[in-house]
A = this chain, B = another copy of it.
Amino acid sequence: MKQNSMPAGTAPGRNHFPPLNPVERETIQLFVQLARVLGQRPSFAEIYGLLFVSPRPLPQDDFIKRLNLSKGSASQGISYLLELGAVRTVAVDDRRVHYEAVAELRNLASRFLRQQVLANFEDSGARLDRIAAEAKKLSASEAEFALNRVKMLKSWSKNTRRILPVLLALLGSRNGK
């Protein structure tokens, strides 16, 4: 079989967007499902999933065409994933920016925990102090109970912070070693 015009049989070429094969479809679904548990948008998960199964970096065009996404979703999704550190840009001889998945669990989990989870716990300390202050204005027995609850919440928060580094260390180590 002769090749014509297209540079090489294996290179997909600029305007070649084949439909998703079963491996791609299922992998993307896997990430969409995971995303749901973690409170992430399905369209963003699709993008990450496609990049994750792709042997080569992809430009935005690719997810727009192959995932049927709008330009807006693709752009928002990519910038979110970059910000999260789940995706990186790759230099390619093309005007378009190409992206690839960052596939190290340690990196992903660590950034996710820090940016999405921990960030939301940060300001709880201030709130707890406010609650304690208000609690002192209550009647003696009510104050006692409330202050006890605050103490409990503070210990929860301490416990949680204590655990994170351990968690990250465990995620980083390979295969239980």
Q: Which chain A residues in 1-33 approach chain B with CB under 8 Å?
A: 21-23, 26-27, 29-30, 33
* Contacts A130-B26, A152-B103, A175-B158 given; does A142 touch B33 at CB 8 Å: no
Instruction: Please name all residues of chain B whose beta carbon is closer than 8 Å to the beta carbon of A167 when the two chains form the complex.
Output: 163, 167
Which residues of B have CB within 8 Å of A146? 23, 53
A83 lies within 8 A of chain B by Cβ = no
Indicate whether A176 sits within 8 Å of B162 (C-beta atoms), given known contacts A22-B134, A53-B149, A130-B26.
yes
User: Which of B103, B120, B145 interacts with A55 by CB under 8 Å?
Assistant: B145
Contact between A166 and B162 (Cβ–Cβ < 8 Å)?
A: no
Interface presence of A97 (CB below 8 A) = no
Among A124, A130, A156, which residue has the most Cβ atoms of chain B within 10 A?
A156
Judging by beta carbons under 8 Å apart, are A166 and B170 in contact? yes
User: Would B23 and A153 count as touching, CB distance under 8 A?
Assistant: no
Counting CB contacts under 8 A, is A135 at the interface?
A: yes
The SS class assigned to the A binding surface is helix
Copies per complex of this chain: 2
Q: Is the CB of A26 within 8 A of B138?
A: no
Minimum-distance CB pairs A-B, first 10: A22-B134, A55-B145, A37-B120, A26-B131, A23-B134, A39-B39, A105-B156, A163-B170, A23-B135, A23-B146
Point out residues on A near B: beta carbons under 8 Å. 21-23, 26-27, 29-30, 33-34, 36-37, 39, 52-53, 55, 103, 105, 116-117, 120-121, 124, 127-128, 130-131, 134-135, 138, 141-142, 145-146, 149, 152-153, 155-156, 158-159, 162-163, 166-167, 170-171, 174-176
